[in-house]
Amino acid sequence: MEELVLTDPVVKPEEVTQTYKVVALILNHEIVATPVPSTPPAPGLVSIQLRDNLGAMFIHQYTGQTAQDYIKFVNTANFSTKSLHKRILERLSNEGVLPGTVTGAPDPPTAE
């Protein structure tokens, strides 16, 4: 097969995932999800959906008692000094799911 070999190759910069933003938080008290092996099934599901700087989705879930504890925390937390999104990102970082540093300020509401 014939092909053209460029004298000066086109170089595309390497795509690097560097940041994540929270796009959805789903809390469900009743659903019974597949638990971690060796733990009995228990109701509760928390699904955190993030989008990276390249547009790809990342989903992390908590189930059972961990999810129920997370839901209780969200229902009772004071978010006046630290936003919900910041707390979500810090937890994912502290647990080693996505190690890093949380920066920036909460997004202002948008008019639609």
Residue 66 has a pLDDT of 93
pLDDT confidence band for 11 (50 / 70 / 90) = confident
pLDDT tens-digit readout, 56-103: 999 999 998 999 999 999 999 998 889 999 999 999 999 999 999 999
The verdict on residue 87 lying in a domain is: yes
Largest CA distance in the chain: 67
The verdict on residue 47 lying in a domain is: yes
Residue 33 has a pLDDT of 74
Contact between 20 and 50 under an 8 Å Cβ cutoff? The reply is yes
The count of structural domains within the chain is 1
The reported pTM is 0.79
Contact between 23 and 51 under an 8 Å Cβ cutoff? The reply is yes
Mean pLDDT across the chain, nearest whole number?
87
Name the residue range of residue 43's domain. 20-94
